[in-house]
Amino acid sequence: MRNIKKKRYLIAFILTVFIFVFGIMVGLVMESQRVQFVQDKAYEQKLDYRSLQFQYQFIDQLSQENNCPVLANALNVNLETLEDTRIRLTNYNLDAKISKDDFEMLYRDYILSQLNYWLLAKKARELCNFELATILYFFSTDKDCPDCGEQAFILTYLKNLFGDKLLNFALNSQFRDEKSLELLMETYSINVFPTLLIEGRKFEGLAEKQTILREICKHYKDMEECY
Amino acid sequence: MIYISELIILIVVFISLYFVVFWLIVFFEQENFSSRRKILRRKPIVSIAIPVYNEEDTITSTLQSVLNLNYPQKKLEIIVVNDGSTDKTEQRVLDMKKKNNFIKLISHKNIGKGASLNRALKVAKGKFFVCLDADSYVHKDALLHLLPHFKDRKVACSLPLMKSKKPLNLLQKMQFTEYLVNIFYKKIMGFLHCIPVAPGPFSVFRKNVLIKLDGYEEDNLTEDLEMTLRLQKHNYKIIQDMKAEVYTTTPLNLKSFFKQRKRWYKGGFFNALKYKKMMFNPKYGDFGIMQLPLLIISGMIGISTVLVTLYTSLKPHVKNLLNLRLVDFDIWTFIQNIRFNFNILDLNFANLIVFLIMFSISILILNLSYKLTRENISKYGRTHIIFFLFFYFFMLGISWILLFPELFQKKQEW
């Protein structure tokens, strides 16, 4: 019969648990930093939006159409930041251990920003005759949307292809508690995912590249990518 | 699935970390890590058995290293067992025998290493029996360091530092490092009498113990491991010496590397099962509780690490590649629009901290291993160290995966 020093096993276990707990604690501290980061971004975006609104009203009310390129540029920069934040927010929310509620509130805030930008983009297009198309992309992160990954891939590709001439707004249907999203989904009877709303026209299920191209190209006068 | 893979990673990391922490505690508990030099007063007869099978390229050098041993030649018995070689091995041995007529040669048809060693054991006259693989070379002072350990009557076996011969390529350099780390671990395991294997190159056994245990198992794929487990079962002590050195040849390419590892792991797996009654059995102390289960747990860790790493790292890329068909494989549009948008908060800090701690421990163990084996960490450059730290575990895991289907074959070939 050999001897076993149980204490040694116990100390090793405690130390291992300690290292893990330390890792988890640091993770939680960083999670609160992430919440703070997204909150700051949301605040920045609100300011940017108000600035854009002012630019729009300035052009509209004082007939300053020569300032349209400035508005177009600002709109694109803001939407790019908005999309980056959306991707980060989605990932942070997936990783979140204790701040899920905070991230979900921020996501609602983000959806509102998106819808505001969507409306502003449509109005700016009319005012300044911008050559651009907008797509509202309704998706679900549930398992009931096996094609959502593919749809997102096609939309990313088209965004890369058309750049600032195409504005994509990705809306997660799981946040339909946000009344503005609920309103939109009811208005357009969005029940299946993915669904695309391209300038008021609805496409249910996976919309292929050619289908989307045909639709958005109606809104461009002379785009090489449409031929 | 993402949650299952995360859970598997957590369990694997926890178990690996637990074992490493455990062995480090044992290490820091020991006051005299380096064994003190013991003087060998009387020089007993030592029988050195060299089983050979088609070793015409190496046998002469191996024999020469034995002849160079700093030990009286009249106290040395060298038994070369030619296990049915079909090349010029026998001729090479006969050439050496002409100059050194005390070399004995036994020749027979191919019967395997275990059986060959038993033939040598049967004729051996020495009090101690040493097995030396024909692709290994021994340092001249090895016996002087290994024999004094037998003053303790419970010691049945003492092991040299098994180092890899001068490495020629990246793979061999990584194995060089691995062997040094293994020596470090074996030394610590020795403190708890937990050494799981006395490898082929120059492990010294008390001959009467080998005979008492009926010699080597002849149809075993890893007869050295099986013998060690039997010694452990009978509560004999196995000592890792830190001065005696032996140099062995390691696989030069991936094919022979995986072949060798598959044989080792298969042997480890089935021998662990053979001695399953010792597993988690407190009667066998730390060996039963910790070391023997580790032979199987290490395989499970290896397989899960490789599979989960491949799954989590490749899945998004595979998906994207498959999705390219949706955009007529127009990769160029994506390439043109690549932009870097890194934020430090995007990192997974919980995993990162655990990873950094494990990495620091690995560096510590690596340094200790090099120091205790008197090697310079930059002797062969540092590139292989980086590869060893980040990719070597992956190669070991792949060896387990390659072996996995064979574990479930009804008829096991040894």
The pLDDT tens digits for A178-223 are 899 999 999 999 999 999 999 889 999 999 999 999 999 988 887 7
The answer to whether residue B298 is domain-embedded is: no
Q: State yes or no: pLDDT of B396 exceeds 50.
A: yes
pLDDT in tens, A11-29: 999 999 999 888 888 888 8
Q: Closest approach of chain A CAs to the CA of B257, in angstroms?
A: 33
Q: Is B18 at the interface with chain A, CB within 8 A?
A: yes
pLDDT at residue B110 above 50?
Answer: yes
CATH number of A7-130: 1.20.58
Lowest mean pLDDT among A98-112, B84-98, B203-217: A98-112
Instruction: Return the DSSP state at A140.
Output: -
**Host domain of residue B112:** 46-291
Cβ of A160 and B337 within 8 Å?
yes
Residue B302 lies in a domain: no
Inter-chain contact B343–A16, Cβ cutoff 8 Å?
Answer: no
Characterize the bridge pairing of strands B237-248 and B155-164. parallel
Is B362 in contact with B389 (CB distance < 8 Å)?
Answer: yes
Q: Report if residue B127 sits inside a domain.
A: yes
Strands A166-172 and B46-52: unpaired
Q: What is the pLDDT of residue A28?
A: 86
- Above 60 in pLDDT, residue B2? no
A180 Cβ contact list (under 8 Å, min separation 6): A111, A112, A115
Residue in B319, B354, B356, B358 to test binding to A, most A beta-carbons within 10 Å: B354
Element (H or E) spanning A197, and its range? Answer: strand A195-198
B17 touches chain A (CB under 8 A): yes
Q: How many domains does chain B have?
A: 1
Burial bucket for residue A54 (CB in 10 Å: 0-12, 13-18, 19+):
exposed
Query: Is the confidence at residue B64, as pLDDT, over 90?
Result: yes
CATH of the domain at B117: 3.90.550.10
B345 in a domain, yes or no? no
The pLDDT score that the predictor gives to residue A156 is 94
**Per-residue pLDDT reduced to its tens digit, A114-143:** 899 999 888 888 888 888 899 999 999 877
Among A38-42, A157-161, B103-107, B210-214, which is the least confidently predicted range?
A38-42
The pair of three-digit structure tokens given for residue B150, joined into one six-digit string = 């037998």
Residue type (1 letter), A69: P
- Greater confidence, B47 or B35? B47
Ranges in chain A annotated CATH 3.40.30.10: 132-227
Mean pLDDT of B259-267: 93
The answer for residues whose C-beta is within 8 angstroms of residue B329's C-beta and 6 or more apart is: none
- Please report the pLDDT score of residue A128 as a whole number: 86
Distance from CA of B9 to the nearest CA of A (A): 13
In a domain, B110, yes or no: yes
Average per-residue pLDDT in chain B?
A: 90
| Residue A168 bridge partners (DSSP) | A135
Q: Could you give the CA distance from residue B250 to residue B169 in angstroms, rounded to a whole number? A: 11
pLDDT at B1 exceeding the cut of 50? no
Q: B381 pairs with which residues across the strands? A: B379
The model's confidence at residue A226, banded by pLDDT at 50, 70 and 90, is confident
Helix (H, G, I), strand (E, B) or coil at A101: helix
Return the residue in B5, B9, B18 with the most chain A beta carbons within 10 A, the one to mutate for interface testing. B18
* Average confidence (pLDDT) over A83-97: 83
Q: Is the pLDDT of residue B31 over 70?
A: no
What pLDDT is stored for residue B106 in this prediction? 94
Backbone angles phi, psi at A106, to 5 degrees: -65, -35
- Most A CBs within 10 Å: which of B27, B194, B319, B326, as the mutation test of the A interface? B326
The residues, any chain, with a CB within 8 Å of residue B403's CB and separated by 6 or more, are: B261, B262, B265, B266, B269, B299
CATH of domain A132-227: 3.40.30.10
Nearest-by-CA chain B residue for A34:
B345
Q: Give the pairing of strands B128-131 and B203-206.
A: antiparallel
- For residue B343, the model assigns a pLDDT of 83
Q: What is the 3-state secondary structure (H, E, C) of chain B?
A: CHHHHHHHHHHHHHHHHHHHHHHHHHHHHCCCCCCCCCCCCCCCCEEEEEEECCCCCCHHHHHHHHHCCCCCHHHEEEEEEEECCCCCHHHHHHHHHHHCCCEEEEEECCCCHHHHHHHHHHHCCCCEEEECCCCEEECCCHHHHHHHHHHCCCEEEEEEEEEECCCCCHHHHHHHHHHHHHHHHHHHHHHCCCCCCCCCCCEEEEHHHHHHCCCCCCCCCCHHHHHHHHHHHCCCEEEEEEEEEEEECCCCCHHHHHHHHHHHHHHHHHHHHHCHHHCCCHHHHHHHHHHHHHHHHHHHHHHHHHHHHHHHHHHHHHHHHHHHHHHCCCHHHHHHCCCCCCCHHHCCHHHHHHHHHHHHHHHHHHHHHHHHCCCCCCECECHHHHHHHHHHHHHHHHHHHHHHHHHCCCCCCC
Q: CA-CA distance, B61 to B407, in Å (whole number)?
A: 37
Max Cα-Cα span within chain B: 82
Q: Is the pLDDT reported for residue A32 higher than 70?
A: yes
Positive or negative CA dihedral for B138, B144, B145, B146? positive
Parallel, antiparallel, or unpaired: how do β-strands B103-108 and B76-83 relate? parallel
More confident position, A79 or B119: B119
Predicted confidence at residue B414, as pLDDT, reads 42
Decide if B189 is inside a domain: yes
Give the model's pLDDT for residue B36: 56
**Chain A touched by B357 (CB under 8 Å):** yes
Task: Determine, for residues B343 and A19 on separate chains, whether the beta-carbon distance falls below 8 Å.
Answer: no
pLDDT grade, residue B248 (50/70/90)?
Answer: very high
State the span(s) of chain A assigned CATH 1.20.58. Answer: 7-130
Give Cα B136 to chain centroid, integer Å: 14
Partner-chain contact A12 B348, CB within 8 Å: no
What is the spatial distance between Cα B225 and Cα B155, in angstroms, rounded to a whole number?
A: 17
